Amino acid sequence: MTALTSSIPSFDHDELIQSHPVPTLLIDGGGVVLFVNAAAEQLCNISRSAMVGRVIYDVIRMDRSYRQRMSDASTSALFAHRTEISAGGRKSIFVDMQMVPFGNSGHRILALVASHSDSELMGGAIGRSGRAAGAAASMLAHEIKNPLAGIKGAAQLLARKTDAAGERFTTLICAEVDRIATLIDQMEHFSRGQPIACGPINLYQPIHQAMETARARQFPGVRFAEDFDPSLPLVYGNHDALVQILLNLVTNGCEALTGRDDGVVRLTTAYRHGLSIDNGDGRGRIALPIEVSVSDNGPGVPADIRGDLFDPFVTTKREGRGLGLALVAKLARDMGGTVQHIRDGDWTRFRVHLPVAQKGRSE
């Protein structure tokens, strides 16, 4: 034992959990409450003695699907955003429920975290953000289409005179022009809330196109890193919308690293069990297990605008218009997904969560 480790005091773990500010409960495989900390007592407005020994959903009223999953010993993990619960005679509140396994006895830890605002996690209605961003996009659409046609024509002429290496870039230019033109057509309907066409897609095709475009811009001092899960199933979404989302997030990350020579923009994909959301469209809660994360080791978003980050015209860029993240949130929601911003140590992360494509489902 070193002098350093010998100086570390021992902790009373029960006291540590009891004083933890997040409402936390321990339940067994059948959903019976075994332990409640002080924060959970305060949230539920019920004493510990009145909760311990009772089934969790007899204490906290919640959606039927969660009652079933908590009483099922085979359900070890659960994450649900903005879940409506009520307890102790109080009015309903919204929480993020997080349940994880504890030990080998089938017990689970249940944390009830105050929900993020809709501006941080765009799971609820876009409301004024979508309408304002849509109005601005509609005004710009006509002016943008004319130069796009000229750019594509010039690229096609260059393609006839270039070698194979140059043809790669002219092909990319034409593909990007076509995608932007399609996006503009969609954005002209933005304010009317018309849905985009979604179907089963391979997530790595839009990722590849977005990364090719970002690399072509040659941001100085920025290195790209990738950590992909090759086993992901097909995603339910729209190819062009995903390209736009990823390109916006990657570009923002690169621009946040301007002036540094150690900048990293990292793209990761993963399958996250348990995340679901109710979009208010009558279909109930939809699982969103596919996660695409774009992270950078830049200075991060100023604290005073984090709560409004997905609102239109909110930006830290001198020449920015503040429409990029509003559009990202709108497109993610149109595909039935969400986007979330968090600051994780030295990293700024944007996480896009999407549904898995189901057999026979297309729009």
Domain at 64, CATH number: 3.30.450.20
Q: Report pLDDT for 123.
A: 40
Q: Are residues 144 and 66 in the same domain?
A: no
Contact 225, 296 (CB under 8 A): no
189 in the same domain as 40: no
Is the residue at 121 inside a domain? Answer: no
Contact 354, 236 (CB under 8 A): yes
**Number of domains composing the chain:** 2
Q: What SS3 state is found at 340? A: strand
- CATH number of the domain where residue 231 is located: 3.30.565.10
Q: Is the pTM higher than 0.75?
A: no
| Orientation angle between helical segments 128-159 and 164-187, nearest 10 degrees | 150
Strand 93-102 with 107-114, pairing: antiparallel
Asked if 172 contacts 180 with a C-beta cutoff of 8 angstroms, the reply is no
Asked if the structure places residue 361 within a domain, the reply is no
* Beta bridge pairs of residue 291: 270, 353
- Name the β-bridge partners of 290: 271, 354
Question: Which residue ranges in the chain fall short of pLDDT 50?
Answer: 1-6, 117-128, 189-192, 362-363
Tell which of 114, 139, 173 closes a domain. 114
Q: Which two tokens stand for residue 12?
A: 């009373």
pLDDT the model gives residue 293: 95
Judge contact between 41 and 33, C-beta under 8 A: no
151, 268: one domain: yes
Residues 92 and 140 grouped into a single domain: no
Whether 123 is covered by a domain: the verdict is: no
Let me know if residue 359 belongs to a domain: no
Q: What is the pLDDT of residues 177-224, one digit of tens each?
A: 887 877 676 555 444 455 678 999 999 999 999 999 888 888 888 999
Decide: 313 and 304 in contact? Cβ < 8 Å: no
Closest CA to 252 of 323, 184, 312: 323
> Which residue from 215, 275, 287, 219 is spatially nearest to 246, judged by alpha carbons?
215
pLDDT score of 150 = 80
Dist. CA 290–CA 235, nearest whole Å? 7
**CB–CB of 121/338 below 8 Å?**
yes
Q: Give the up-direction half-sphere exposure of residue 359: CA atoms within 13 A in the CB hemisphere.
A: 0
DSSP letter for 8, please. S
Which pair of structure tokens corresponds to residue 307?
A: 């709560």
Rg (CA), the chain: 24
Tell whether 106 and 239 lie within a shared domain.
no
Residues 247 and 315 in one domain: yes
pLDDT at 186: 56
- pLDDT of 292: 96
Structure confidence at residue 362 (pLDDT)? 47
Domain assignment of residue 90, given as a range = 3-114
**Residue 342, token pair as written in the block:** 């968090």
Question: 42 and 9 in one domain?
Answer: yes
The verdict on 219 and 338 lying in the same domain is yes
Same domain, 81 and 197: no
Within 8 A by CB and 6+ apart from 246, the residues are: 206, 207, 210, 211, 267, 292, 294, 352
pLDDT at 65: 77
Domain shared by 222 and 339, yes or no: yes
Residue for token digits 């992270």?
Answer: 295
* Cβ(175)–Cβ(239) below 8 Å: no
**Residue 307, in any domain of the structure:** yes
